[in-house]
Amino acid sequence: MCNLSSPNPTKTPSAVAQIDRLERVTLGERVHTKLRDLLMSGELAPGQKMSLRSVAETLGVSMMPVREAVARLVADQSLEVLPNRAVRVPLMTCARFRELTAVRLAVEGFAAEQAARSRAESDLAAIRHFEEAFLAEARSPEPDADRAVRANKELHFAVYRATGLPTLVGIIEGLWLKIGPVLNFDLKASAERLRTGGAAEHHRSLVAAVNAGDAAAARKALVADIEGAAGFIESTGRLLE
């Protein structure tokens, strides 16, 4: 005769606790991924504040996974906690911006070269898709700035993923967590800046070089894109001295 009762009822609370912990970890990862994506895409601006409660309500989760995700981003120096316990995207100094830009030129320039050497057809399809998405906003009489900065980020990372080097992509993600919000000062400056600022032309050159397998041209286009944006961002006077 089968005994369908639990062989050890005392284990049940522990199992439930493990399930609860797993759910919180999963939600924490989801919140962390979402906040990372907003930072890297430039959809959050330097100095922008948010409360943990507002984040929880927006994402439809409890406070615990939000606290866990924010704690990780604070540890990465991608967010900072204010005295009133609100959370803020850090402000950027000129010195810090120039340091990050110099590192990006070296690391992302190398990634562009590797992408030109290693890209597959599926990579090229993704790269073209995001280039078109960016161009659609750049050419629009009323561009959506959030869509433009997101397309810019997705295009860059489609190129970086084409390297087939996940460690390299992870390093670049760490850089974009810090530099992404500052892109607000460029791509969101005005519709005219989006149309004539040079990003679309640099993207065109980058995509063409990666497609042709021309590593040197890919680096040159990527460097021109970063330097063009950096020059404009410094000219706005919105970085701290």
Q: Is 145 left (phi over 0), alpha (psi -120 to 50) or beta?
A: alpha
**Interatomic CA distance for residues 18 and 12, integer angstroms:** 10
> What band does 66 get if pLDDT is binned at 50, 70 and 90?
very high
Domains 12-88 and 94-235 share a fold: no
**Interatomic CA distance for residues 178 and 169, integer angstroms:** 15
> What band does 10 get if pLDDT is binned at 50, 70 and 90?
very low
What average pLDDT does the segment 111-131 reach? 98
DSSP annotation string for 59-121? HT--HHHHHHHHHHHHHTTSSEE-TTS-EEPPP-BHHHHHHHHHHHHHHHHHHHHHHHHH--H
pLDDT of residue 153 exceeding 60, the answer is yes
3-state secondary structure of 213: coil
Tokens for 201? 């032309």
pLDDT, residue 80, reads 95
Q: Residue 87: what are its φ and ψ, rounded to 5°?
A: -115, 140
List helix spans (H) across the chain: 12-40, 52-59, 63-75, 94-118, 121-139, 145-161, 166-179, 184-187, 191-196, 199-212, 215-235
3-state secondary structure of 240: strand
- Look at residues 135, 171, 170 and name the one whose alpha carbon lies nearest to residue 155: 135
Q: Model-level pTM?
A: 0.85
- Which of 50-54, 112-116, 195-199 has the highest average model confidence (pLDDT)? 112-116
pLDDT, residue 20, reads 53
Domain ranges of the chain: 12-88, 94-235
Q: Looking at 1-10, 82-91, 122-131, which range is the least confident one?
A: 1-10
pLDDT of residue 239 exceeding 50, the answer is yes
Report the helix count and the strand count for the chain, using DSSP H and E.
11, 3
Q: Residue 7: what are its φ and ψ, rounded to 5°?
A: -65, -25
What average pLDDT does the segment 88-106 reach? 97
Residue with tokens 């493990």: 18
Q: Residue 80: what are its φ and ψ, rounded to 5°?
A: -140, 150
In the CATH scheme, what is the homologous superfamily, with its name and number, of domain 94-235? GntR ligand-binding domain-like (1.20.120.530)
Q: What is the mean pLDDT of the chain?
A: 90
pLDDT of residue 22 exceeding 80, the answer is no
pLDDT, residue 12, reads 43
pLDDT of residue 236 exceeding 50, the answer is yes
Q: Are 211 and 78 in contact (CB under 8 A)?
A: no
pLDDT of residue 11 exceeding 60, the answer is no
What average pLDDT does the segment 193-198 reach? 91
Q: Looking at 6-15, 48-57, 82-91, which range is the least confident one?
A: 6-15
pLDDT of residue 194 exceeding 70, the answer is yes
Q: Which CATH number fits domain 12-88: 1.10.540.10, 3.40.50.970, 1.10.10.10, 3.30.530.20?
A: 1.10.10.10
CA 102 to chain centre: 18
What average pLDDT does the segment 163-191 reach? 94
Q: Are 143 and 191 in contact (CB under 8 A)?
A: yes
> What band does 19 get if pLDDT is binned at 50, 70 and 90?
very low
Percent of the chain with pLDDT over 90: 73
pLDDT of residue 15 exceeding 80, the answer is no
**Interatomic CA distance for residues 105 and 94, integer angstroms:** 16
